[in-house]
Amino acid sequence: MLQMAITGIICGALLGFVMQRGRFCLTGGFRDMYIAKDNRIFYALLIAIAIQAVGVYALIGFGVFDYAATPFSLWATVIGAYVFGIGIIFAGGCATGTWYRAGEGLIGSWIALAFYMLVAAIMKSGPLGQFTTTARSNTIGTDSMADTLGINVWWLIGLLVVIVAIIVFCELKKPRVKIPGLKPKKTGIAHVLFEKRWHPFVTASLIGLIAIIAWPLSAATGRVFGLGVTTPSANILQYLVSGNLDFINWGVFLVLGIFLGSFFGAKMSGEFRLRTPDTKTVVRSGAGGVLMGFGASLAGGCSIGNGLVMTAMMSWSGWIALIFMILGVWTASYFVFVRPAKQKMAARAQSSANA
């Protein structure tokens, strides 16, 4: 238990710190692919996936732990991921994003988190538990892409690494606009850790490395998986209301670590303050949390569990969830950002035409 608590919290704290300082937001990244035609964060995610894939399959190759693919719940993954994508736009952050923004002191994220945990617990061991089990029991074949294709998984990893290398090369070759920054008030290591802007690709590489070390650390405590947010978030609530210690696992300490690491990063950088949202944001955050909890439980993972980890494991569920999550984000973005902006423009054109 002590080992679980220590390694889980340290791993989570590293992740929370890196995400907070690196401003790593998958929701924003997926959204900007559509509303700003900007793919940088998506590319950064691919970097993190590729690094993790190489590291984790190397560890498996060296026999550090075993990993076996489960059957693939196609429809639950498709629908769950799509609903999750809609939810993270309303909540203003994905599951991990919500944990780390909670650490920055955003009350809106606390509300999203509470509803997310609640609905995930309802979907796992509550009244909707049977529904989740039934929906996910509808499977088609193996979840392993390599097994389906009848090839060695390293071919897929190699392909991903090549694609990512080409993308990084092209992105770094692009002429860079100088982004004005704040005047530095710190120097040396304090400046790098608590002030400097981090390039998203650097942040993503660090996240890829953290995702690798998560596997052996978690496996050592009996939980053979990497980073995960949804199940552990639900586990916290399940433990709190049942007192059953079986709900406590490495992942629980991981998510608590994300909160602590982000709080530390924000506090040290002068970016922590309790911030209360307006009524509209409260309602939106709560609704987002509900959709996130429902979607992630149905899909068997959130943007980290499916989007970062199962993708690196070269599983169908990971990549298909990633695609539908992004489509969900785009759908919600249209209604939350694009359409209101268009309506405002039209109204303005109308009023100036009348004037």
Partner 1 sequence: MKKTLEVLGMVCPFPLIEAKDAMQQLQLGDELEVQFDCTQGTESLPRWAAEAGHEVTNYEQLGEASWTITIKKNA
Q: Where do contacts with partner 1 occur on this chain (CB under 8 A)?
A: 20, 23, 25, 28, 31-32, 35, 92, 101, 104-106, 108, 177-183, 197, 266, 270-273, 275-278, 281, 337, 341, 344
And the tokens for 334? 């249209």
Minimum Å distance from CB 273 to partner 1? 4
Minimum Å distance from CB 300 to partner 1? 28
Minimum Å distance from CB 177 to partner 1? 5
Q: Nearer Cβ to partner 1, position 109 or 235?
A: 109
Name the nearest CA neighbour of 225 among 148, 315, 112.
315
Q: Nearer Cβ to partner 1, position 158 or 277?
A: 277
Alpha-carbon distance 329 to 87, whole Å?
8
| 329 neighbors 29 (Cβ within 8 angstroms) | no
Burial code of 283-299, b = ≥16 C-beta within 10 A, e = fewer? ebbbbbbbbbbbbbbbb
Q: Nearer Cβ to partner 1, position 134 or 191?
A: 191
Name the nearest CA neighbour of 10 among 349, 281, 301, 256.
256
- CA dihedral defined by 128, 129, 135, 139, rounded to 10 degrees? 170
275 bridge partner residues? 106
Based on C-alpha coordinates, what's the Rg of the chain? 20
And the tokens for 110? 């606390």
Q: Nearer Cβ to partner 1, position 8 or 265?
A: 265
Q: Nearer Cβ to partner 1, position 2 or 177?
A: 177
Minimum Å distance from CB 353 to partner 1? 16
Minimum Å distance from CB 40 to partner 1? 10
